[in-house]
Structure 1
Amino acid sequence: MKSSDPNRIRQLVQFATEHLPLQYIATGPGDEMGFGQEYVAHRNLDTILQSLDQYEGIGVELILTGLNSPVTRNRNMAIKALEGWHVTAWDERVINAVNHLSEIEPDDSVKERVHKLLKDKGL
Structure 2
Amino acid sequence: MPETNTTLEMQKCVFALKLPRKPTIGDEIIVKGVLCDDAQRFSVNFCFPDPAQIVYHFGMHLDGRGHSGDTPNFTLIFRFGFDEIKAFLDHTQQQPQFELEHRYPIEQIHYVELWDDIARVEEITLRYANPSD
- Which structure shows the bigger proportion of residues in strand conformation? 2
Greater helix percent: which structure?
A: 1
TM-score bracket, shorter-length normalisation: 0.3 to 0.5
Pick 1 or 2: higher relative contact order, CA cutoff 8 A, min separation 6.
2
